[in-house]
Amino acid sequence: MSGRVYLHKELAAILRARGNRWMTTKGLAEIARKRGRYQRLKPGEVTAFQVHGRTRRYSRIFEREGSRVRLRQ
């Protein structure tokens, strides 16, 4: 699985590509789905709830304000 893209890394790449502006979990999920790089192990699409959970789990990487997310400075 060396070519596997992890969701937290995909979210970080999306935020970097957009100048690390605040984005909503819904917006991040939509862009991740469109890019199609991250593939869930279970069938289904990336959801805002999944983005919420992943950004909370990786709080050393992501800064959160309600449903908005950006990379920690």
Q: Where are the domains of the chain?
A: 7-71
Q: What angle do CA 71, 46, 43 make, to 5 degrees?
A: 145
Of 3-12, 37-46, 64-73, the range with the lowest mean pLDDT is 37-46
Percent of the chain predicted with pLDDT > 90? 85
pLDDT in tens, 20-49: 999 999 999 999 999 999 988 888 899 999
The predicted structure's pLDDT at residue 58: 98
pTM for the full predicted model: 0.92
The predicted structure's pLDDT at residue 2: 59
